[in-house]
């Protein structure tokens, strides 16, 4: 009991298990890589100098940042309204939409990238359609350019933006909006001054997640982009493959990490955010006493507030004529976003029934032969089971460690939190290929290279990060006074956690677990380095297949991957909504 | 009579059964003793061909279990394994440049040629039997073009200068990416008029000046064999610079593709054994087995790679042999990659391969 109380007072201890894992698997080898990049023990900056002396490196660095920023911005512009509309939809529509957002995310990134090749290709779906309609005489170059890179990257990243936004938006009390409206704020102002500030933690964590993952991209730009659309990871990957000297590669990686850190410190050192902070932001935007033009217009607007407030009550009881148009626009928008997210998946499913010898759309004949090829080949089914087992273990391990760590973070002082958050973000801030090399050294030291446990640990580093980011975003909207209220009624710390905190942050935890599972299930670059060639995972097998011969077995696997998780997604969401509705019942009960 | 016959038969039957059982247990014991060997077979059709032509007969002959590694293993990965003293590959296969690099770092076991039969060794090309690697086959970089676009009877691209000539032969091109050090360098020089015997040492400035001319007409710089296969199969490009095997596969499939082997660039992969391989002895046996003439012929029948053992051609029908890079008739118009030049390290401590990669990285962003 005493230790528990101590733990309660020193929440930072909760982050220890996650950090022990991260430091052993990644931290120590990372330090060794840093020393290598500095030519230790002689210590010189020659590798860094060498990097910047090559103009191509500097250019590709800028390009990497630019592509990442644009992708993040597009994701936010599409993702925010989508999340908003999903949250404001009726319960059943909302569940359906969330599932629709999750499905493409569950489809392997490799499969989705190749689906875009089939859609955008010179003789792909779109060009064939236009050619057949006689609208064009020769194929329009839709692929092998920057636009195709953005289409592919945004497609992969969009769910990663929407899910944290959803997680935060669902915690926002909509009666606050009604309150603002009742005090005379227009719908836009109510959104701008109340909803948007409250949703900032979601924007911040979603954007950061998308940005840092984009920095490490390389399969998608390589497959969809043109010659000049290289990202730094492409350079690093080819350096790793062609040179035994890790020092320049390590330097390039640390430069990329440096950029990520700068961005993090400028835009969102505090990934978790907090209600207090959001509230302060709102307060800051109150009219300043200076007699500025802005203040004057605001003053004039405020004069009209009582009138608008009156009208709002009238509107409340009148038929909602004007909102019909906006709901139609919203419905169209959400439909378009969902079509964009799901269309490639559908293509993959349809291609998987092709009877031809290679990937083609539309299939020239129908057959189940690629499913038979998948199920009848023990190397495919074996890889599939390996991946399932590893991903489930990773999800369990990282959800426990990640939730503990996020809980600990949330309760520490902001300065400590920001430093620790930096550290815990490392696995996804580093280009995957460098994390792979560092992990390789780390597992070697632990004697776990090429083992199943080794692979679980390697995947857990990134998975813990996802869990922490998502749970933190949820905790940011969690009112700690609820805990204090429970404590004041003599609930023990563990009781408080199980009965108050856990049910409230459960959606975030489940979201984190889903991300952890998918991250592990889809991981290919790190896996190829640390699997020690003993263990074939499904993505490794798919990559091998894509590199060697594009045969529709990939489409069959992809479509199975798209259709299968629907089942357990339903189960997952059933638990989520069960906990939510139970909570609502609890809160609806009159105080005894 | 009947009975005795039956008894004799019975005895025969039982004794042979006992003998079989004894044999089985002995081979079982042999299998347990001889253990396994882990072999990189890369994947796809190549891996399937390996399984049929080499792995199955090898297991049958030696009782050694072969664990195939269906993955490309880079020289750097092998280097890291050896340096970390945790080698999980017994037999690898890599391009000559990679193997040369590994050998120079002392990361490889020496090949034990003492177990090879003399007639096999004699029939093997000189380039194929190096101290640290044995080349089982050769393949080449060729030009391929779409015969719907350039039909017989009309001008067809014959030389690399033709490939570069976008006025005489308009159409989309596809060439291999240069990001890993190999690339269309030699072809760029040939197109620019450099004679084939003056290619090395390569004039890197001239290479990229020549590439500048073709750059706007390249639809895609491909990254993998499957990619160029897909590109040519779907008519995305009209002319390709590709591995020969992939294009020959398209021809076999009946696609309107012609393979032009004039000035084909020959290159080879070596089997090698990483230093500290846990089953080095089995690895030596595997390589010796895989490079025999009959095994090379069996492999070439399944996958179009040119045998390095001349005797293999005696076992390959002519129509199949014509699909191979080392078919005697093609050799006169071929040249081989100079791997030594690629591995050469300049005064600045940078190898020519790395120099090409740096230059490539700079060039693509211009």
Cβ separation B69–A227 shorter than 8 A = no
What is the chain B residue with the closest CA to A243? Answer: B76
- The pLDDT score that the predictor gives to residue B1 is 35
What is the chain B residue with the closest CA to A357? Answer: B253
Give the Cα separation of A83 and A341 in Å (integer): 14
Average pLDDT over residues A217-225: 84
Highest mean pLDDT among A303-312, A315-324, A489-498: A489-498
Nearest CA to CA, how far is B155 from chain A (Å)?
Answer: 23
Average pLDDT over residues A307-318: 62
- Tell me: pLDDT of A249 over 70: yes
Domain range B141-266+337-364, CATH architecture = 3-Layer(aba) Sandwich (3.40)
Residues forming beta bridges with residue B173, ordered by sequence position: B218, B239
Query: A96-100, A287-291, A319-323 — which is least confidently predicted?
Result: A287-291
Sequence-ordered alpha helix ranges (H) in B92-216: 96-104, 118-123, 160-164, 185-191, 204-214
Sequence-ordered alpha helix ranges (H) in chain B: 2-34, 44-50, 56-62, 75-83, 96-104, 118-123, 160-164, 185-191, 204-214, 225-233, 244-253, 280-290, 293-302, 318-321, 328-331, 339-343, 352-364
Percent residues over pLDDT 70 in chain A: 80
Cβ separation A123–B235 shorter than 8 A = yes
- Tell me: pLDDT of B216 over 70: yes
Average pLDDT over residues B33-43: 82
What is the chain A residue with the closest CA to B215? Answer: A227
Query: A149-153, B6-10, B148-152, B323-327 — which is least confidently predicted?
Result: B6-10
- Which residues in chain A are closer than 8 Å to B252, comparing Cβ atoms? none
Nearest CA to CA, how far is B214 from chain A (Å)?
Answer: 13
Helix (H) or strand (E) holding A319: none
Q: Is B345 on the interface with A (CB under 8 A)?
A: no
Percent residues over pLDDT 90 in chain B: 63
The residue with greater pLDDT, B22 or B190, is: B190
Give the Cα separation of A497 and A489 in Å (integer): 14
Query: Cβ–Cβ contacts within 10 Å for residue A42, how many?
Result: 7
- Tell me: pLDDT of A1 over 60: no
Q: Strands B133-146, B129-130: parallel, antiparallel or unpaired by DSSP?
A: antiparallel
User: The tokens of B251 are what?
Assistant: 């021809």
The predicted model scores a pTM of 0.78
What is the chain B residue with the closest CA to A533? Answer: B69
Nearest CA to CA, how far is B5 from chain A (Å)?
Answer: 48
Residues forming beta bridges with residue B140, ordered by sequence position: B266
User: The tokens of A400 are what?
Assistant: 């426990």
Per-residue pLDDT tens over the stretch B282-309: 999 999 999 999 999 999 988 888 999 9
Which among A214, A104, A96 has a CA at the least distance from the CA of A155?
A104
* CATH assignment of the domain containing A412: 1.10.3720.10
Which among B227, B286, B103 has a CA at the least distance from the CA of A549?
B227
CB-based contact A283:A194 (threshold 8 Å): no
Q: Is A373 on the interface with B (CB under 8 A)?
A: no
Cross-chain CB nearest to A549 (options B45, B80, B219)? B45
CATH number of B35-138+269-321: 3.40.190.10
Average pLDDT over residues A383-405: 93
- Tell me: pLDDT of B19 over 50: no
Model confidence band, residue A318 (pLDDT cutoffs 50, 70, 90): low
Which among B272, B349, B320, B342 has a CA at the least distance from the CA of B107?
B272
Which DSSP state fits A431? Answer: -
The residue with greater pLDDT, B210 or A585, is: B210
Model confidence band, residue A567 (pLDDT cutoffs 50, 70, 90): low
Which DSSP state fits A288? Answer: P
Model confidence band, residue A592 (pLDDT cutoffs 50, 70, 90): very low
Query: Cβ–Cβ contacts within 10 Å for residue A24, how many?
Result: 17
Q: Is B149 on the interface with A (CB under 8 A)?
A: no
Domain encompassing residue A60: 11-35+46-284+304-317+335-366+377-586
Give the Cα separation of A198 and B31 in Å (integer): 68
Q: Kindly provide the ipTM of the predicted complex, given to two decimals.
A: 0.75
Give the Cα separation of A484 and A214 in Å (integer): 40
Cα angle A462, B78, B202; round to 5: 110
Cβ separation A550–B230 shorter than 8 A = yes
Nearest CA to CA, how far is B15 from chain A (Å)?
Answer: 38
SS3 call for A544: helix
- Tell me: pLDDT of A285 over 80: no
Cα B184 to Cα A269, B176, B197, B224, distances in angstroms: 46, 7, 17, 14
Largest CA distance in chain B: 97
Average pLDDT, chain B: 87
Same fold, B35-138+269-321 and B141-266+337-364: yes
Cα A360 to Cα A112, A357, B230, B247, distances in angstroms: 15, 9, 10, 19
Total structural domains within chain A = 1
Average pLDDT, chain A: 80
- The pLDDT score that the predictor gives to residue A571 is 59
Which among A229, A45, A520 has a CA at the least distance from the CA of B365?
A229
Nearest CA to CA, how far is B66 from chain A (Å)?
Answer: 13
């Amino acid at each position: 009991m005493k230790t528990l109380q101590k733990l309660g007072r020193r929440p930072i201890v909760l982050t220890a298990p996650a950090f022990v894992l991260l430091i052993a698997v990644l931290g120590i080898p990372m330090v060794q890589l840093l020393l290598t990049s500095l030519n230790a023990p002689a210590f010189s900056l020659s590798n860094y100098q060498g990097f910047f002396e090559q103009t191509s490196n500097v250019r590709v660095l800028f390009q990497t940042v630019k592509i990442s920023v644009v992708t993040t911005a597009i994701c936010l512009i599409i993702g925010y309204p989508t999340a908003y509309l999903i949250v404001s939809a009726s319960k059943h529509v909302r569940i359906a939409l969330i599932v629709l957002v999750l499905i493409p995310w569950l489809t392997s990134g490799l499969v989705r990238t190749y689906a875009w090749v089939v859609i955008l290709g010179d003789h792909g779906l779109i060009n064939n359609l236009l050619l057949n309609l006689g609208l064009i005489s020769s194929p329009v170059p839709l692929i092998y350019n920057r636009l195709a890179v953005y289409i592919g990257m945004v497609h992969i990243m969009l769910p990663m933006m929407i899910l944290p936004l959803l997680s935060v938006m669902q915690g926002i009390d909509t009666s606050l909006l009604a309150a603002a409206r009742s005090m005379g704020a227009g719908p836009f102002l109510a959104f701008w001054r109340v909803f948007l500030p409250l949703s900032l933690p979601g924007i911040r964590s979603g954007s950061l997640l998308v940005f840092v993952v984009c920095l490490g991209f390389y399969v998608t730009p390589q497959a969809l982009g043109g010659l000049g659309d290289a990202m730094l990871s492409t350079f690093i990957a080819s350096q790793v493959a062609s040179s035994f000297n890790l020092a320049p590669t390590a330097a390039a990686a640390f430069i990329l990490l440096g950029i990520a850190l700068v961005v993090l410190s400028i835009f969102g050192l505090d990934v978790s955010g907090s209600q207090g902070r959001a509230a302060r932001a709102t307060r800051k935007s109150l009219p300043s006493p200076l007699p500025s033009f802005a203040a004057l217009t605001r003053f004039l607007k405020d004069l009209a507030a009582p009138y608008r407030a009156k009208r709002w009550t009238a509107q409340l009881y009148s038929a909602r004529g004007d909102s019909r148009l906006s709901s139609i626009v919203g419905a169209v928008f959400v439909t378009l976003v969902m079509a964009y997210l799901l269309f490639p998946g559908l293509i993959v499913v349809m291609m998987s029934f092709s009877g031809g010898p290679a990937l083609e759309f539309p299939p020239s004949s129908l057959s189940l032969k690629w499913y038979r090829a998948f199920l009848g080949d023990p190397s495919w089914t074996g890889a599939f089971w390996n991946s399932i087992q590893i991903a489930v273990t990773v999800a369990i391990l990282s959800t426990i460690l990640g939730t503990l760590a996020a809980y600990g973070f949330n309760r520490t002082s902001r300065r400590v939190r920001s430093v620790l958050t930096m550290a815990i973000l490392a696995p996804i801030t580093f280009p995957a290929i460098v994390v792979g090399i560092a992990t390789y050294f780390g597992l070697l030291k632990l004697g776990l290279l090429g083992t199943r446990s080794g692979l679980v640990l390697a995947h857990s580093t990134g998975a813990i990060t996802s869990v922490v980011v998502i749970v933190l975003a949820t905790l940011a909207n969690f009112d700690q006074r609820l805990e204090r209220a429970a404590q004041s009624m003599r609930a023990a710390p563990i009781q408080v956690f199980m009965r108050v905190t856990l049910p409230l942050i459960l959606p975030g935890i489940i979201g984190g677990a889903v991300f952890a599972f998918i991250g592990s299930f889809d991981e290919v670059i790190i896996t190829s380095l640390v699997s020690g060639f003993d263990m074939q995972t499904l993505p490794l097998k798919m990559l091998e297949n894509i590199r060697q011969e594009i045969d529709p077995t990939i489409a069959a696997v992809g479509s199975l991957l798209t259709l299968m998780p629907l089942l357990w997604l339903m189960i997952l969401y059933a638990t989520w909504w069960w906990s939510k509705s139970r909570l609502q019942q609890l809160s609806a009960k009159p105080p005894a | 009579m009947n009975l005795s016959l039956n008894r004799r038969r019975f005895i025969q039957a039982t004794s042979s059964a006992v003998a079989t059982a004894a044999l089985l247990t002995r081979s079982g014991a042999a299998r347990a003793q001889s253990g396994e060997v882990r072999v990189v077979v890369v994947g796809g059709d190549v891996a399937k061909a390996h399984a049929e032509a080499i792995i199955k007969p090898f297991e049958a002959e030696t009782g050694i279990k072969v664990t195939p590694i269906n993955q490309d293993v880079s020289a750097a990965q092998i280097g890291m394994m050896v340096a970390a003293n945790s080698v999980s590959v017994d037999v690898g296969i890599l391009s000559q440049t990679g193997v040369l690099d590994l050998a120079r770092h002392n990361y490889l076991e020496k090949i034990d040629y003492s177990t090879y039969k003399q007639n096999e060794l004699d029939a093997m090309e000189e380039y194929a039997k190096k101290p640290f690697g044995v080349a089982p086959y050769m393949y080449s970089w060729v030009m391929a073009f779409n015969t719907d676009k350039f039909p017989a009877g009309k001008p067809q691209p014959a030389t690399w200068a033709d490939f570069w000539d976008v006025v005489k032969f308009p159409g989309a091109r596809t060439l291999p990416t240069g990001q890993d050090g190999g690339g269309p360098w030699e072809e760029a020089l040939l197109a620019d008029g450099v004679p084939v015997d003056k290619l090395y040492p390569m004039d890197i400035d001239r290479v990229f000046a020549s590439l500048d001319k073709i750059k706007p007409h390249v639809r895609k710089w491909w990254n993998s064999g499957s990619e160029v296969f897909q590109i040519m199969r779907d008519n995305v490009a009209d002319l390709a610079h590709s591995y020969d095997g992939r294009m020959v596969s398209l021809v076999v499939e009946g696609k309107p593709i012609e393979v032009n082997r004039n000035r084909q660039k020959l290159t080879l992969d070596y089997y090698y054994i990483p230093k500290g391989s846990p089953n080095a002895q089995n690895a030596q046996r595997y390589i010796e087995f895989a490079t025999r003439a009959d095994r090379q012929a069996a492999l070439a029948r399944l996958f179009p790679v040119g045998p390095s053992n001349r005797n293999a051609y005696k076992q390959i029908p002519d129509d199949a042999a014509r699909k191979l890079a080392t078919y005697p008739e093609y050799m006169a118009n071929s040249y081989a990659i100079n791997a030594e030049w690629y591995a050469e390290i300049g005064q600045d401590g940078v190898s020519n391969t790395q120099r090409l990669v740096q230059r490539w990285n700079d060039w693509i962003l211009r």
